[in-house]
Amino acid sequence: MATETCTIKTVPTDQLVAAASNAIEVNPANATVPQALQRALPDEVIPPDHLAILTAKYWGSAGVKLTVGFLDNPPADLRARIVSHMNAWSATANVQFVETAVNPQVRIARTAGDGYWSYLGTDVKLIAAGQPTMNLASFTMATADSEFHRVVRHEAGHTLGFPHEHKRTEIVNRIDREKAIAHFMATQGWSREKVIAQVLTPLDTSALIATATADPNSIMCYWLPASIMKDGVAVNGGPDINALDAQFAASVYPRFANWQLLDNNPSTGAIAADGAALYQMHKNGRIWKYTGTPLTGWQELDNNPATKKIAVANGNLYQLHNNGRIWKYVSPPMTGWQEIDNNPATVDIVATSGDLYQLHNNGRIWKYTGVPHTGWQELDNNPATRRIAAAGGQLYQLHSNGRIWKYVGPPMTGWQELDNNPATTSILASDGDLYQMHGNGRIWKYTGVPHTGWQELDNNPRTRQIAAGGGRLYQIHTGGAIWKYVGPPLTGWQQIDGNGASTSIAASGNSLYQLHNTGLIWRYTG
């Protein structure tokens, strides 16, 4: 017997525009794709019904609490079991389903022969009271527990706005069209048109908020047999919420509410902050500046695939290419870049206040003095140098053996040793403060006396990165948890986020940002 699959119910065609308007009203971030399309084609008149199809149906990053009712009054133990499985998404996400008998938002039917289906996300608000928004066919307490995991959690995912994963372009392109139509007509009794709509129509644009690549083991993915795949490799589909599902749900509905979504682009590879100014660099080298409107307010400043790092301070933006060339942004966008050095030995740049420094692969450190190409002053030449950090007019270097040095002048000889610990793996400078992090996660702050003047602030082996700005210190753990130092040492850390998708943080002034592995950028508002 074939496994019964699911369909996403859609509102009638004449309600598509209303559904899109409703989705944007509930969550303005749902309008990202239509707005981007209109920006890309400013002179085109795009039909409202086409824009409506491109509108996502998520409930918003503040989280979602939906009431659930049952239209056929099943036993209390079955109702509780179904709601419990719907709430499996709440293990990582700010999601809650609560049963009620009064005006429920999610209305579940168990109509035999009608299959498994749900409306998508915010569309459930448009369904008339008394009409189902989800169907679970003939579910009873005798239904196998594996089906509660596979079906109920899948349909709840649709209610949260998650589309079918197998409709991502990467998977659809692997499907043999005619074999798939024959398979689903034979096993599900679907029409040719329904197979095309439910299996063969990609969702790459309408599912913009998504993981970077398709997950064939997602609970939101159908099982697709090898017999209908061009490459002969089956798509397993997911019998339950997997780690990537849980992580993605947490990124869309974060459990810590004090974060504002600023962008959602899977190409984003790094972020850099300068006070209230924020920049992002894409994996293909494109550089963007945030202009103030979440999701849509990004101005492209350059598009060079050679770019491997950006650095910003005091309103000055720089980029380093993979061939060692260094450029300063002087405006206008795209063309307004001034080359200030071209040395293939350059591996890193650091900016602070009005200063710019570069580090070579042989340990040489140089300071820019203002004349492109020739205006570089050598400050040190030590092959042990691994990293440099600068802030508030101060420059520091870290050696491969853990020794930390501060530049006090003059060039070459004017370096004061501040510490000598082989466990040190990174240093961070911010305003007038200097921090070091050890390979075992210990964090130390420099208090002013070389070697002995270091105060331990934390000792957690999960610490992956530290960031600081405006006198505030933050750390991110390997599991994505973000913590703010509030004092005292060791015990005085406040958790401000806990999202497994978080990969890095950036701080400057009073601002803190985080970047997810899906490209989402968030600003802390707490």
Model confidence over 144-158: pLDDT tens digits? 999 999 999 999 999
Considering the domain architecture, whether residues 228 and 275 belong to the same structural domain is answered as: no
451 within some domain: yes
Considering the domain architecture, whether residues 359 and 325 belong to the same structural domain is answered as: yes
CATH number at residue 240: 3.40.390.10
Name the pTM for this structure. 0.72
End-to-end CA distance of the chain: 53
Q: Partners of 468 in the beta sheet?
A: 473
Considering the domain architecture, whether residues 196 and 294 belong to the same structural domain is answered as: no
Mean pLDDT in residue range 85-107 = 94
Considering the domain architecture, whether residues 272 and 220 belong to the same structural domain is answered as: no
Residues 234-272: pLDDT tens digits?
888 889 999 888 888 888 888 887 988 899 888 999 999
Instruction: Please provide the average confidence, as pLDDT, over all residues in the chain.
Output: 89
1 within some domain: no
278 within some domain: yes
CA distance 364 to 384: 10
Joined together, the tokens standing for residue 131 give 């009409």
Percent pLDDT > 90 in the chain is 67
Of the three residues 435, 456, 476, the one that is the final residue of a domain is 476
How much is the pLDDT for 13? 67
Mean pLDDT in residue range 298-308 = 98
Instruction: Give burial (CB, 10 Å; 0-12/13-18/19+) of 79.
Output: middle
CA distance 209 to 165: 12
How far is C-alpha 236 from the geometric centre of its chain's CA atoms?
Answer: 25
Percent pLDDT > 70 in the chain is 90
Residues 194-210: pLDDT tens digits?
888 888 887 644 444 55
User: What three-state secondary structure class fits 465?
Assistant: strand
Considering the domain architecture, whether residues 179 and 280 belong to the same structural domain is answered as: no
507 within some domain: no
Q: Which residues contact 137 (CB under 8 A, 6 or more apart)?
A: 4, 110, 111, 112, 113, 114, 115, 116
Would you say 278 and 301 are in contact if contact means Cβ atoms under 8 Å apart? Answer: no
Q: Which residue has the tokens 């002013």?
A: 448
Residue 153's domain comprises: 6-252
Considering the domain architecture, whether residues 162 and 307 belong to the same structural domain is answered as: no
468 within some domain: yes
Considering the domain architecture, whether residues 291 and 440 belong to the same structural domain is answered as: yes
Mean pLDDT in residue range 390-404 = 97
The total of structural domains in the chain comes to: 2
Considering the domain architecture, whether residues 45 and 186 belong to the same structural domain is answered as: yes
Would you say 297 and 305 are in contact if contact means Cβ atoms under 8 Å apart? Answer: no
How much is the pLDDT for 41? 38
Residue 35 pLDDT > 80 = no
CA distance 295 to 32: 6
Considering the domain architecture, whether residues 234 and 285 belong to the same structural domain is answered as: no
